[in-house]
Amino acid sequence: MARRHDPERRQRIIDAAIAVVGERGIAGLSHRSVAAAADVPLGSTTYHFATLDELLVAALRQTNGAFLDDFARWVDAIDPAVPLADEVIRLVEETLAGDRERVRLEYELYLAALRREAVRPIAAECLDEMVRLLGRKIGDPTTARAVVAFVDGLMLQLLLTGQAFAPEAVRAAGAGWPVAETGR
């Protein structure tokens, strides 16, 4: 039997893995579930991704790419005349007003790094890039790391508890954060 040329198959498998995690969580991810979702033979998933960790790495890289694009747009739009806490409020409000399922999926893939060593460097790269982007804008990498950690913790708490977002808590926490430096 002739081999069917399917240049988009690898990408469909990654997209299917992301969809499976979105629907069933990390626990529902298997080569079989991804093959079914991608409508490809089981052997195709193992051909392109020998292990589930390899597939998770590809899925996390893809979701991180979209997430970092959004984050970079937020950083670029930071107004140096506005307190950084207010800009963080804008980020959280915009994120929560968008597709919450997408945000949950991003965090589920990100948190897979806690148990999967192969995925950990990908999650760390994303954090480092967030710190780099924000640090370049505000001129202080230490504060940038603290803000990134704060936003991550806050987003996780809001997603886990379903509580309403309280902007005043961000203002109180960010009272000592600098404003963005101009010209960066």
The mean of the pLDDT values for the chain is 91
For 1-50, the fitting CATH number among 1.10.10.60, 3.30.420.40, 3.20.20.150, 1.10.10.10 is 1.10.10.60
The CATH topology of domain 60-173 is: Tetracycline Repressor; domain 2 (1.10.357)
CATH 1.10.357.10 range(s) for the chain read: 60-173
Count of beta carbons in the 10 Å neighbourhood of residue 101: 10
User: How far is Cα 115 from Cα 32, in angstroms, rounded to an integer?
Assistant: 21
Q: For 65-124, what is each residue's pLDDT tens digit? A: 999 999 999 999 999 999 999 999 999 999 998 888 888 888 898 889 899 999 999 999
Contact present, 91 and 180 (Cβ < 8 Å): no
Cα 151 to Cα 87: distance, rounded to the nearest angstrom: 11
